[in-house]
Structure 1
Amino acid sequence: MALGFASAAMAEMGPIESRQACMKANGKMMGVMVPMMKGEKPFDKAAIDAAMADEAAACGGWAGWWGEDTKAGGAVETYAKDEIWTDKAGFEAAGMAYGKANEAVKAAADEASFKAAFPALGASCQGCHEKFRRPKG
């Protein structure tokens, strides 16, 4: 039921707000996983699965949020760089790398496989942010 409410709320947002909500959900997901990766918290597959489900629900409309009309942002500040639109192939490749890494983490059934899969997920986030997202501030 919570996913239904989240989806309804996301549908009412514009594309930039939806992208930002997706990134916040991604940050929360990473906040669950990074301490496990560092050994600061015990491996908890259920917590990982829940965080990944929340992120998936928040990011479900990703493909439709990158229209040419969202480049400037208008009344809503955006941190998206022009490279998203000028290097579409690179942006799509970065998204595919993230999706592949995300699936590998999702498939990890134990701490060892999680710790083997997680670095690629972190690297895909970092790589995309470096090339396609301008710093806040």
Structure 2
Amino acid sequence: MKTFLLALTTVTLISGAAFADPHEDREALMKSFGQQLGQLAPMAKGEKPFDAAATAAALEELHARSEKFDAAALFPEGSTDGADNRALPIIWTDWDDFAARVDKYKADVAEVAANPPADQAALGVALGKIGGNCGSCHEVYRAPEG
């Protein structure tokens, strides 16, 4: 019985992976980045009191999620179909730059998560570093909304 359940689980996992939608997967991952950054931004702006423990937890979660950012898997060539897809074809004609930007984002998140900011000012600097990565990539590789 255990062998049957193991085989069924394996087939289910493989089938699910085969039907994964890179566009939906990358959109969900990007939204998850925004959720974590959205917890931190009010503290960086002074709209909420700085909380070192909450900051460290949000950054650790952001780091864990950023490690799932596999550019090749999430942006396979030709994955720009769909009405709400904003990925631009330049991603694949300038792949090395795109991949380097993804790697920089991941490295910067890892660095900040490993050394969480100790106060509001340091959090603002850290979010500027991380957010700068997001913005620089979106400016070049993502179509404007609408």
TM-score, normalisation: structure 1: 0.76
- 1:76-87 mapped onto 2 (5 Å cutoff): 77-87=84-94
**For the aligned residues, what is the CA RMSD?**
2.6
What amino acid maps onto 1:35 in structure 2? P
CA distance in structure 1 between the partners assigned to 2:109 and 2:98 by the alignment: 16
1:62 maps to 70
Higher relative contact order (CA 8 A, sep 6+): 2
Residue 58 of structure 1 and its aligned partner are, at CA, apart by 7.7
Name structure 2 gaps, 5 residues minimum: 1-12
2:5 maps to none
Residue 126 of structure 1 and its aligned partner are, at CA, apart by 0.7
CA distance in structure 2 between the partners assigned to 1:117 and 1:54 by the alignment: 13
Residue 87 of structure 1 and its aligned partner are, at CA, apart by 0.6
Q: 1:54 to 1:97 in 2, by over 3 A?
A: closer
Q: The residue matched to 2:78 in structure 1 has which SS? A: helix
- 1:6-17 mapped onto 2 (5 Å cutoff): 13-17=20-24
Give the stretch that moved more between structures: 60-69 or 117-126: 60-69
Residue 61 of structure 1 and its aligned partner are, at CA, apart by 5.0
Name structure 1 gaps, 5 residues minimum: 1-7
1:125 aligns with 2:110: no
Identical positions, percent: 35
CA distance in structure 2 between the partners assigned to 1:48 and 1:122 by the alignment: 15
TM-score, normalisation: structure 2: 0.72
CA distance in structure 1 between the partners assigned to 2:67 and 2:111 by the alignment: 18
CA distance in structure 1 between the partners assigned to 2:40 and 2:52 by the alignment: 10
CA distance in structure 2 between the partners assigned to 1:16 and 1:59 by the alignment: 18
1:116 aligns with 2:125: yes
- Tell me, yes or no, if the aligned pair for 1:80 and 1:134 is still in contact at 8 Å: yes
1:5 maps to none
Q: 1:123 to 1:58 in 2, by over 3 A?
A: closer
Residue 115 of structure 1 and its aligned partner are, at CA, apart by 3.3
CA distance in structure 2 between the partners assigned to 1:35 and 1:109 by the alignment: 14
1:39 maps to 46
